Amino acid sequence: MKRRTTFTTIFTNTTKFGSRLFIFLSCLVFPFAVSAATSHHIHIALSNTSEAVSWYEEHLNCEAIAGRADAVNCANTEIEFFLGQTVGGSQGTGVDHIAFSIPDLDAKMAELESVGVRGSGVRLLRFEDGSLVRDIPGLFKIAFITDPWGTKIELVQDEDLLGFHHIHLNSTDPTAALDWYSQVLGGEPASLKGMLDGVLFDDIWLLATEYTDGRPGITQGRTIDHIGFEVADLDEAAVQMNRLAVEFRQDPMVPDNARSSAKQAFILGPDGVMIAVVESGWAGIEREVVAAGSTESAELYVVPRTPWGEPDLQGIWTADAAHGIPLQRGIDVAGTNELTPEEAAARRERGTLSSIWGYDREWRDTTLGYVKSAPSTQVAMVIDPPNGQLPETTAKYKAAVADAPPRIPPQRARTPVDLGTYVRCITRGPVGMMMPSIYNNGLQILQSPGNVAIQKEMIHETRIISTEPREGFGEGLKTWLGDSHGRWEGDTLVIEVRNLNGRTSYLGSSEAMKLTQRFTRTGPTTLEYQFTVEDPAVWTEPWTGMFNFIRDDSQYELVEYACHEGNYGMTNTLSAARTIDARQAEAAANEE
C-alpha cells in the first residue's frame, strides 16, 4: 500500500500547524465521471470591493480586470469580491486558506514586516519560534498572512508555479473529500514535488487538512464564501452531477444583474464547502452601491417631543457612516460637492485600513459589514470657511510651534506623560471624543427635564449637561472636558464649552478655546452634529465642522470600553521603548 506523506511528518512538530494532518488523494474510480472542470474563482466576502482589488494588486501581484471593480486576475485564477456580512475569517471552515507562490519569499515577508500592519492591512502569522518563514526540505518555503478582511493566505516559494498556487481544505476525511473533487469536478490526481499527493485542476492544486476539532464550519457567510469551477456546458454537467447524488443549493440559472448570459449553479461539497459551478464566459454579478441617508424621506421632518415638550434626541446613534470623512477638503476633490457612493465606500475602507493598529477584523465595525448606514458622501467636515479648509493660524502660534522642542515619538517615550491623553486612556477631549473612528463610534443620549446626558462609547465618557439658564462661565475650576452650558434654540440643542485645562488640545488648541456644539434631528434616523471652534490664540477666525450620526437602537449597543490609565498597553509601550534604548546603547558600545 502506498505511504502518504503528511505535513505532520515534514514539520516534525516544529510548528503550530504541524499538529494538523495533511493527507492527500488516493484516487478511487466511480461511474459517471464528470468532464474535467477548471478552477475558475475564489469568492471573498468583505466590506469594500475596490479597496480589495487594490490590496491584492499591491501585495499579491494580481491584476485588475478591465470593466470590473470587484475582481482581480491572479495569473491563473480569478478572485471575485462581493459586499456581504461575514461572521468570521476563513480559518476553521471547509476552506481554511488559499495560497500564492512568490519568487523570493524571504524578501516578500521582510517587505511586509517593514510596512507593518498600519497602513497596509497585512497581518503576519508567526511560527512558534517567532520566525515568519519556514523551509520545508525538498518542498518549498512557506509563510502565512491574512488580508484585512480575515482571509488566511499561505505564501510559498515554488518556482515551478508562480501566482495563485492552491486551495487548502479542512476535512474530517481528507482522502474521501479529495476523491469527491476528483470524481465530481474531474480533478487529476497528481503528486506535488513528488512529496504530496493532491488533486490538480490545470495548474491549481487542491490540498486538504485533517480537521480534528469537530466538523469544519460551512464556508457560506465567512470570508472565503465559496470556490468556483468552470465547465463548458453547465446543464450537461448538472445531469452528470445529479447521477452522482450531488446536493444542489441552486440549479443552473442566469442570476439577476449577471454581466453575461453564462449560467451559474451552487453545489455543496464535503465538509460544508460551498461551490459555484459556472459556464464559460461568466463575468460576475453587478451590485448596486447605496449612498448614506438615501432612504430618508424628502418630506418635511417634524422632530418628536419628550413628555415635557423638549425636542427628543434620545437613542443610540453611531458615527460609522461618517468614518473616513476628512476634516478638511482635499485638493483632489476641489470643486466637488459630493462623492459618488462608490467613492465614499472606498474612502471609508481606506480609513479603516490606514488605522488598523494590528487589530483583528472583529474589532473593526465597518470591516465586518454589519453597519446598517452606508458611507457618507460628504466631501469634508469643515463647512466654514466655505472652502473646506481650516483658517490660518496666528503669527504668535506659528512662532511658538517653531520654538517648541521636538515631540518625543511613542516608541521612545520616557514616561507616561510623554504619551497623549488618548493613548493613556484619559480622554480624547471635547472635540476629539465626538470624531468617528474605526470602531466604538456609539453615542447615547438620555434626557430629563432640564438635563441632557451624552455618553460617548470610545474612552467611556459621559457628560451631564444642564439646559437651565445659568449666569456666565466665570473663572472657576478648569477640567479635561471643560464646563458645558446647554440651551435649546428651536429644535437644536446648543452646548457651549469653556474652562478647559489645556491638556486636551485639538490640533493645537489652547485652554482659551471655546467650543460650541449643535445637535439637530433632521430625520427619523439622522442626527446632525455641528461643532464650532473659537480660539484666537491659535486661529485667525472661528471654524465649523459637521457630520451626521445615524440612529441604530435595534442593533447597536454601547458596551464597556475597558480602557484606563496604567493599562497594559502603556506598560508594553514603555517596556518596548526601554528595549530600543538598550539595543542602541549596546550597538554604540560595540562600535567603540
pLDDT at position 355 is: 65
DSSP 488: E
Q: What is the pTM of this model?
A: 0.78
Q: How far apart are CA 288 and CA 420, in angstroms?
A: 42
Q: How far apart are CA 168 and CA 20, in angstroms?
A: 12
pLDDT at position 62 is: 94
φ, ψ dihedrals at 349, nearest 5°: -65, -40
pLDDT at position 286 is: 84
Nearest-Å Rg of the Cα atoms of the chain is 28
Nearest to 92 by CA among 358, 359, 271, 228: 271
pLDDT tens series, the chain, 592 aa: 333 333 333 333 333 333 332 322 233 334 444 567 888 899 998 888 888 999 999 999 999 998 888 999 998 899 999 887 788 889 899 999 999 999 999 999 998 888 765 556 678 889 999 899 999 999 999 999 988 888 999 999 999 889 999 999 999 999 999 999 999 999 999 888 888 878 999 889 999 989 999 899 999 989 999 999 999 999 999 999 999 999 999 999 999 999 999 999 999 999 999 999 999 999 888 876 555 444 455 468 999 999 999 999 999 999 999 998 999 998 777 678 899 988 898 888 887 777 655 566 666 666 666 677 888 999 999 999 999 999 999 999 999 999 999 888 888 899 988 988 888 889 999 999 999 988 889 999 999 999 999 999 988 889 999 999 888 777 778 999 999 999 999 999 999 999 999 898 999 999 999 999 999 999 999 999 999 999 999 999 999 999 999 998 888 888 888 888 888 888 888 999 999 999 999 999 988 7
Instruction: Answer for the pair 176, 4: CB distance below 8 angstroms, yes or no.
Output: no
Q: Any bridge partners for residue 152, and if so which?
A: 146
Name the residue with cell 470593466: 67
Cis previous bond, 430, omega within 30: no
Q: Which helix or strand (DSSP H or E) is residue 568 part of?
A: helix 568-591
Q: How far is CA 213 from the centre of its chain?
A: 28
Q: Which three cell numbers stand for residue 173?
A: 476525511
Instruction: Answer for the pair 501, 430: CB distance below 8 angstroms, yes or no.
Output: no
pLDDT at position 264 is: 95
Q: What is the DSSP string of 173-220?
A: SHHHHHHHHHHHH-PEEEEETTTEEEEEETTEEEEEEE--SSSPBPST
Q: How far apart are CA 262 and CA 254, in angstroms?
A: 6
Q: How far is CA 459 from the centre of its chain?
A: 21
Helices (H), 321-476: 341-353, 365-368, 395-403, 429-432
pLDDT at position 474 is: 72
Instruction: Answer for the pair 46, 52: CB distance below 8 angstroms, yes or no.
Output: yes
* C-alpha dihedral (383, 389, 390, 396), degrees to nearest 10: -150
Q: Which three cell numbers stand for residue 381?
A: 467636515
What are the strands, taking DSSP E only, across 410-505?
A: 442-448, 451-456, 461-466, 483-489, 492-498
Residue span(s) of the chain under CATH 3.10.180.10 come to 36-279
> CA-based angle 125:129:131, to the nearest 5?
50
Instruction: Answer for the pair 318, 447: CB distance below 8 angstroms, yes or no.
Output: no
Q: Any bridge partners for residue 210, and if so which?
A: 171
CATH of region 36-279: 3.10.180.10
Instruction: Answer for the pair 229, 273: CB distance below 8 angstroms, yes or no.
Output: no
pLDDT at position 16 is: 33
